[in-house]
Amino acid sequence: MIYNDLALFTAVATHLSFSEAARQTGIPLSRVSRRIQELEQHLGVKLLERSTRRVRLTEEGRRLLDRCQDPVEILQEIAGFAEDTRHQTIHITAPALAARTTIGPLLLQYLRQNPSVSVKLSTSYSNLDFFRDNIDFAFRVGPLADSSLIARQLWHVPYCFCASREFLRERNINTSLGRDDFLALPAIVSHQPWLLDTGETLQLKNIIHEIDEPDLIRDAVAQGMGMAMLPKDMMAEGAGKPALAEVTLKEAQVLSRDMYAVYPSKRLLPARVRNLIEHMVNQVTR
């Protein structure tokens, strides 16, 4: 009976633990997991995100748990639960620069077209944890290391090595350098490794600053403090900031990146998340 499965779901959701629910109900752990999966399939929504260590409620799971607080309300309303999803919230994380430039405008466009959808957007250059931080999906710049995640490629992000023209003039150096001369230059780095299209990671010898904010890195480069690796769209002059010069290695090029939509699992991906990802893909490929 679905009502028994709802009671079992309530036990799992309250403790965020399949093991604790199994202990309290006396039901084998494997059967608890199977019955929750059957409940999700019956409702057509994903209620819980699982990892090897954590369990978290999805938006649908939180809504259902609220209803399960009152058994009378369950009996009266649960039959219409799957349809009662008119207002939905999507929890997203994205790099701050991309949120301002590419992701933000597309996201606002989607929200204007879908007034029943709300978003909670967290900007961070660190990879937030899907379970601990309650994230539905993340925008991340590849290459991606975690093969357990599902990644949907969205658009290309060209990168380059750059410096100010004054910086290059003061050192009387060309914009195309051999490896030794390139590695000897003072470098301003972020959390991203300096990858080449050959697959090599450059081992920098003269790192002077480590900064995770791209706009601040650009300002430091523009003021002649060193060279950096930045997205190419940050090279141009604008808002009182001078244009930067591209610096290249003679034997290889910097590896360009891709922006991805990343999420923990394909199974029962909520329609609101799937639709937003498709919107991003469609707008970029037009």
d(CA 242, CA 264): 41
What pLDDT does residue 3 have? 66
Long-range contacts of 167-171 (CB under 8 A, 24+ apart): 167/221, 167/224, 167/225, 167/226, 167/227, 168/245, 168/247, 170/224
* Token pair in block for residue 29: 């752990």
Which pTM was predicted? 0.66
Burial classification of residue 61, based on how many CB atoms lie within 10 Å of its CB (0-12 exposed, 13-18 middle, 19 or more buried): buried
pLDDT 10s digit of each residue in the chain, 286 long?
Answer: 566 788 788 888 877 888 888 887 778 888 888 888 888 888 888 888 887 678 888 888 888 877 775 553 444 344 455 444 455 788 899 988 888 888 999 999 999 998 888 899 988 877 887 777 778 889 998 877 766 788 888 888 899 999 999 998 888 887 788 888 888 899 999 888 888 888 888 888 899 999 988 889 999 999 999 999 999 888 887 767 788 988 888 888 888 888 988 887 655 567 788 888 888 888 766 5
